[in-house]
Chains A and B, each alone.
Chain A
């Protein structure tokens, strides 16, 4: 392909045609525009007149240029120009395509796959065998060199993994590479790794290495932690650069159990900064719901960090059996508990019953012997529902009869009276040490310090269940901590006090660890290997490389040491792991992880990921040429005078119209309607399609508006005609709908709009304008049409307007509702069946709302109608009686609009005395 500055030509020989352009120029120049022949009798008068100017004999230069350009474009177009013609790479021998296949690849995996596909296509074209290797999923054995087509079929199954390549395995694999020479394409994920260098050296030993790298940034999110009362998050990016703002969102279950975004905050990377800190101030309730944080819009496991119990601070209620003795803090029963729990849990103080309402995770009863009858039941219920009751012994418990003869439901074991002292001044023996924890104990694995001794304790009655309930004991085998499961909850008793009176346990670090193991306090963010020794954790949910949380399925459990140990790998995918009573999150990016961009040696060519699409320019060039030729037509017409004077304007408009985007007028119209309808009260009528009828309706509403303006506090603007199909109805309190037999039935959408309008308090006045001659029914044509029109409408049952309807007294006291005709049949929403007049009241308490429709045939609009000069358009009745009827029609209109705007205000009994007074006259 012949290329010229980034543009290639499929048929370059056609470009020779450009040489003909100067000839064309000369030819065109020599041939003036053809004259137009006109028949003109006045030519006799023209004879002998000569032209002043003669240069239009030749084509004007700009027209020449236009034409030459058009022809040049056509020649260029047919020469098949291609933008970004694909360069064909040369080479032979096998190709190794190495993909990092990590979570950092996931952000633009499809593009990478496209690039690999392009490379495979090229290899297929050149007949080179290909091996495709993902570094996170190394193939066993030799390099699998196969035909490129075969790989193309397999390509979709190659997916990134949410971890980094294992350096050790990688080194082994690199060392085992076969001796044959091959070229390497390395799809790098853009992150620096120690293992890269060795692998690169190894690959370069076999042939050339080309690196493909995407310029799009890599983001990471470190695990959430606590800082200054909020949740601290750190966002990372690989390459420092300009200031950049990303949003971090918190996801979790909402109270109804639906996963949704709970919070979102923006965090800004400073220029040249690779880390950005964010503190989310979430209420505890919300914070405990958060299951993961992620950088919004980044599809990568690195941008997601799962939260575990570390973020969920437990609510612990502390209740002491005796009042604090002022000044003796260290002796207070709960002092050490408070100290141990304060950093990691939310402590609650208060009365037991109040506390139960708050539904804490743990209630600690420090030396509380008896729980009152009233408190016992709810407390037990709370325990059964999963609460953890943690009790500490003490002098009171030792002295009481609680759980003596039979086991108390709120005690794990029966107690012997009194307890015992060991190692005190008045006793024999030494203070006892703790026995190492049994394997079944939740404390298993904790190291027992030498200096923890117990001098007093309450003793458990030896019962059949005792041995299984003991989870910690002294060196002599007596129980130190016992536990009983109650339904979903548990009751735990420390047989010593919570302060240092009976033992030195509360003074030791073991106390805190034991509380942690019991899930009383929250663990530190990152469990140590020691903490997790001997435990096995089952994956609950795992992350894939794209950052989506997936069910773990049947993945095997992971030993605690491995979880404490560090980075996720094939044997421990990132996710949420469940132990006995707590969960640990393993995230792609740990609290100390740094990410940095790759730094390839200068000898390695690094290519962008983009597969540059070939763009055929032929169509564009020809389209432009066509446009130029069109212009040429206009210009030629103009030059030769064929474009009449009127036509010139039209042509200019046409040219402008081609340039200007249309479609703005309509939207404008909608806004204008909304503004006109909402800035003032506006009466509206439905457009029926009958121009005369619409004119009368408009004039009628104008007349009614004038009357309203002069007589009431309603000051309407000019009425608006509403097209049911096009216009929004919600703006109008009132619609006048004259019914003609000819008008079209509205569409379903229009009916949906009308029903919505009626349900939300709109009113429609249907006017059949037939004076209801045949009585209300189907016998007039307009009546039948009305029935068809109103059938799809959501109209309640109707009745002829009762005498005590609110319409009879919203402004004027009326009993008749004449329009141009004085028919009686005006129908409104029926009163409820049980509406009855209360004694002494003249009116029933009728419907609470505005009646959605008023139906009649009195041709009100004609009675209301005034023309532009303000004079009546139609006569009503005869003489004074007629004027009286018109006045009544006006009053009906006023009452109607009052009813629309004030609802059942006049039904209010407040006005009864005044109304009674006037009715009595």
Chain B
């Protein structure tokens, strides 16, 4: 039997790391000035759009008496139509993301979480609805959703070495953000992208790489292992492999870009050594872009 105190303790332990991550994400998000994006036509919303003469059928309580008092006719205040977008964020939780080439650098997963959360904050403040695909919940636009997203980052579970997007409940014509290192097999990704494109989902493929993965600064006899140790490769002269590795990496990036273009998505590669701020700006801009 679990006592209330134990629950509380566990809850505290669980939420311990959350405020820092949330605070950091808030901090990051604050740097991006934004406003609600109106649809430039009257509809449901909070912002004033225009006054129009009251027509028959308009409920009396919709009449703006203040405006009507200045003239003979009755006016109704129309609001701008503010349609909330649904954004699905898929953050790769595979073990390969838990890699950092330097002690002083954050892991790819950390950077991904930060970006995902900060972007969520921005989107929710902008009135959009956000969902983390791994949670399986529908997109919501509440602060509680933020907390849920943050909490879901802390959940442990069996993770594959390399991840593949798993987006089952994508709403049609919503937006999607795939954050991953895209080091694994590209087949599932292609399939998922095709599925998303069928539903008219537009989105962004955001690749996060460690600078070490870009530079391959290795030499000598080396056994390379994936983080989950399922894949390994032994070489006697790691230095000789550099050229060919970089070639393959470039190929992969080109392939991803190509895939993105094919389905009208956007693709970008980010390095954990670079600033998260600029990454967030780019991401926000890319997602806000009208599609």
Q: Are A and B associated in one complex?
A: yes
**Known contacts A43-B231, A49-B241, A51-B235; A641/B218 CB under 8 A:** yes
| 27 chain-A/chain-B pairs, Cβ below 8 angstroms | A32-B221, A33-B221, A35-B223, A36-B220, A37-B223, A38-B218, A38-B222, A38-B223, A39-B226, A40-B225, A41-B96, A41-B97, A41-B183, A41-B213, A42-B213, A42-B249, A43-B231, A44-B183, A45-B245, A45-B248, A47-B231, A51-B237, A52-B237, A52-B240, A53-B236, A640-B222, A641-B239
Q: What residue of chain A has the Cβ atom nearest to residue B108's Cβ?
A: A41
Q: Tell me, yes or no, whether B224 is within 8 Å of chain A by CB.
A: yes
Chain A residues proximal to chain B, CB less than 8 Å: 32-47, 49, 51-54, 56-57, 638-642, 644-645
Q: Tell me, yes or no, whether B289 is within 8 Å of chain A by CB.
A: no
The 10 residue pairs across chains A and B that have the minimum distance between CB atoms? A641-B220, A641-B219, A41-B96, A43-B224, A640-B220, A35-B221, A45-B248, A40-B224, A46-B233, A42-B213
Q: How far is A784 from B236 in the complex, measured between Cα atoms in Å? A: 72
Q: Are B223 and A44 in contact (CB under 8 A)?
A: no
Q: Are A35 and B222 in contact (CB under 8 A)?
A: yes
Q: Tell me, yes or no, whether B184 is within 8 Å of chain A by CB.
A: yes
Q: How far is the CB of B91 from chain A (nearest CB, A)?
A: 16
Q: How far is A53 from B183 in the complex, measured between Cα atoms in Å? A: 27
Q: Are B217 and A645 in contact (CB under 8 A)?
A: yes
Q: What residue of chain A has the Cβ atom nearest to residue B244's Cβ?
A: A49
Q: How far is the CB of A357 from chain B (nearest CB, A)?
A: 94
Q: Tell me, yes or no, whether B80 is within 8 Å of chain A by CB.
A: no
Q: Are B232 and A43 in contact (CB under 8 A)?
A: yes
Q: Which residues of the partner chain A approach B96 to less than 8 Å between Cβ atoms?
A: 41, 44
**Known contacts A35-B234, A51-B240, A56-B236; A44/B221 CB under 8 A:** no
Q: Are B245 and A42 in contact (CB under 8 A)?
A: yes
Q: What residue of chain B has the Cβ atom nearest to residue A37's Cβ?
A: B223
Contact of A40 among B97, B108, B226, B244 (CB under 8 A): B226
Chain B residues proximal to chain A, CB less than 8 Å: 96-97, 99, 108, 162, 181, 183-184, 210, 212-213, 216-227, 231-241, 244-245, 248-249, 252
Q: How far is A45 from B241 in the complex, measured between Cα atoms in Å? A: 11
Q: How far is the CB of B189 from chain A (nearest CB, A)?
A: 13
Q: Are B225 and A42 in contact (CB under 8 A)?
A: no
Q: What residue of chain A has the Cβ atom nearest to residue B252's Cβ?
A: A45
Q: Are A37 and B240 in contact (CB under 8 A)?
A: no
What 13 additional pairs, Cβ within 8 angstroms, besides A40-B212, A53-B240, A644-B217?
A36-B220, A38-B223, A39-B225, A39-B227, A40-B213, A40-B218, A41-B210, A42-B224, A43-B224, A45-B245, A46-B245, A52-B240, A56-B221
Most buried by B among A36, A39, A40, A56: A40
Q: How far is A52 from B97 in the complex, measured between Cα atoms in Å? A: 30
Q: Which residues of the partner chain B approach A32 to less than 8 Å between Cβ atoms?
A: 221, 236
Q: How far is A32 from B221 in the complex, measured between Cα atoms in Å? A: 9
Q: Which residues of the partner chain A approach B181 to less than 8 Å between Cβ atoms?
A: 41
Q: How far is A586 from B25 in the complex, measured between Cα atoms in Å? A: 107
Q: Which residues of the partner chain B approach A53 to less than 8 Å between Cβ atoms?
A: 236-237, 240
Q: How far is A49 from B243 in the complex, measured between Cα atoms in Å? A: 11
Q: How far is the CB of A571 from chain B (nearest CB, A)?
A: 88
Q: Are A46 and B241 in contact (CB under 8 A)?
A: yes
Q: How far is A641 from B248 in the complex, measured between Cα atoms in Å? A: 22
Q: Are A42 and B222 in contact (CB under 8 A)?
A: no
Q: What residue of chain A has the Cβ atom nearest to residue B246's Cβ?
A: A45
Q: Which residues of the partner chain A approach B233 to less than 8 Å between Cβ atoms?
A: 43, 46-47, 49
Q: What residue of chain B has the Cβ atom nearest to residue A638's Cβ?
A: B220
Q: How far is A44 from B187 in the complex, measured between Cα atoms in Å? A: 14
Q: Which residues of the partner chain B approach A54 to less than 8 Å between Cβ atoms?
A: 236
**Known contacts A43-B231, A44-B184; A56/B217 CB under 8 A:** no
Q: How far is the CB of A54 from chain B (nearest CB, A)?
A: 7
Q: Which residues of the partner chain A approach B248 to less than 8 Å between Cβ atoms?
A: 45-46
Contact of A641 among B99, B222, B225, B227 (CB under 8 A): B222
**Known contacts A44-B184, A44-B231, A47-B231; A641/B221 CB under 8 A:** yes
Q: Which residues of the partner chain A approach B217 to less than 8 Å between Cβ atoms?
A: 644-645
Q: Are B238 and A641 in contact (CB under 8 A)?
A: yes
Q: What residue of chain B has the Cβ atom nearest to residue A648's Cβ?
A: B219
Q: What residue of chain B has the Cβ atom nearest to residue A50's Cβ?
A: B235
Q: What residue of chain B has the Cβ atom nearest to residue A46's Cβ?
A: B233
Q: Are A639 and B220 in contact (CB under 8 A)?
A: yes
Q: How far is A135 from B235 in the complex, measured between Cα atoms in Å? A: 84
Q: How far is A466 from B213 in the complex, measured between Cα atoms in Å? A: 128
